Amino acid sequence: MNKTAPLIPLLAACMITAACSPNVQANQTQTDHASRAPIAPEFTGIGHWLNGPPQTLSQLRGKVVLVEFWTYSCINCVHVMPYVKAWHAKYRDQGLVVIGVHTPEYGYEKKLDNLRAAVQRFDITYPVAQDNAYATWNAYGNRYWPALYLINQEGRIVYQHFGEGEYATTEAKIRELLNAGAQDG
């Protein structure tokens, strides 16, 4: 009898748990050569924009863009929110643009009035795209809430982080990209 056979379901369960963990910290992409980093997909299928007019990455070329996939009922998203808001406040005058892409997990999160109330309740002042059809989510190949994608001045995804944590690393990458842009300009 194979003595390892009973361990296979346990190992599979552990792998699934790790992949679905709300604190997933894997999948950080830091590309040595930004020219090989993937081009960030445009915002697509957005039903509504809150806190300003519709945004496009082509219009934001030359800026550092932080795209945050979130949903207002996700506790992990709520935990990340103060950091994203702080980065927006601290670095927006230096060229950082934060775009929240609200992709709902539950039906009630799809209602525009509920999203507006959440944006007001959480005092979010950066632009928020309502991605009810998951079009932008799918364009990025995203699978997690929250998910952060940093896009450099050339429109390439040079860093990503899923879940909570790694705040100092993310902020350091923001500063690095802003400094690179300041040296180029």
User: Domain limits of the chain?
Assistant: 25-184
Residue 146 CA, distance from chain mean position: 6
Give yes or no for residue 65 having a pLDDT over 50: yes
CA angle 167, 169, 170 (to 5 degrees): 65
Q: What is the pLDDT of residues 51-60, one digit of tens each?
A: 999 999 999 9
Give the Å distances, CA to CA, from 78 to 7, 62, 83, 149.
36, 29, 10, 17
According to CATH, the topology of domain 25-184 is: Glutaredoxin (3.40.30)
- Predicted local confidence at residue 34, as pLDDT: 56
How large is the average pLDDT for residues 24-49?
71
How large is the average pLDDT for residues 24-51?
73
Compute the 3-state secondary structure of the chain and give helix, strand, coil in percent, each to the nearest 5.
40, 20, 40
How large is the average pLDDT for residues 158-178?
97
DSSP string, 29-89: ---SSGGGSPBPPPP-S--EEESSS---TTTTTTSEEEEEEE-TT-HHHHHHHHHHHHHHH
Tokens of 33: 């050569």
